Amino acid sequence: SILMASDPTQHIPVKNARNGIQGVSQGVAENQFLIRIKFIESDLDIQIDDIFLSSALGGKFPNGYPLGKVIHVEQHTDESFLHIVLEPIQKTQNLEFVIILEEQ
């Protein structure tokens, strides 16, 4: 099967390329062109334009695969985690070729 990083049923371990902060990505069901990052505590340093990469902890994606760029960061005072939204690095509607990685 082929997994899309923006699939809302997939949870992918990710890390911030700038500072290594780790979280979990999930596609947004109501907008296939966005990705949410979950489980990053509200006191951590996440900025607009930060790039998130796959961290390979879940084994679904190779380490360092660029998933998306931060377009929205919001902190709610009554919640422990930041609300982070990414725009995917690669727009699926613009793809001409796809690399399929097989498990060995």
Residues 74, 42, 53, 17, CA torsion sign: positive
pLDDT tens digit sequence for 15-49: 999 999 999 998 887 777 899 999 999 999 999 99
- Domains of the chain are 11-94 (2.40.10.350)
Class of residue 48 by CB neighbours under 10 A (exposed 0-12, middle 13-18, buried 19+) = exposed
Reported pTM: 0.81
The pLDDT value given to residue 97 = 63
